[in-house]
Amino acid sequence: MSSALITTLVSIRGLIGISALAVPGLLAQIFLLPTSPANYLMYRLFGSRDLSLAGLLWTAKTPEERRRALMIGAITDGIDTVSAAVCALTGTTELIPAAVAGGGAAVLCAMGLLGMR
């Protein structure tokens, strides 16, 4: 397991998590999603989840704990990728925002899987 990969994953998740909690409107704009204050709760819940995943990976002490944290993150990101595709296909989210969010999740999923090797 590459320590650089783990540090990168922790940093990305931590940055996204803190941003979603602190400035949900700005993060929504980056992901090309609606910036309605009514949506801020969902963005903040997303932020707490990503921050928790970052913390889980950061505090993993043994190779087994790191592998489990990477697996949980990869599963979460895989579900996010499929969810973004479903939203795009059903028309509940426009194609570009779904591709941005789903593409980002797919990259994080791949990084997590790579880290498990």
List the chain residues with pLDDT less than 50.
none
Residue 33 pLDDT: 87
Q: How far apart are CA 2 and CA 31, in angstroms?
A: 28
DSSP state of 31: T
Task: Report which residue type is found at 69.
Answer: A
Its domain, for residue 98, covers 3-116
Residue 86: predicted pLDDT: 98
Q: Which two tokens stand for residue 111?
A: 């990084």
pTM of the model: 0.90
Number of domains composing the chain: 1
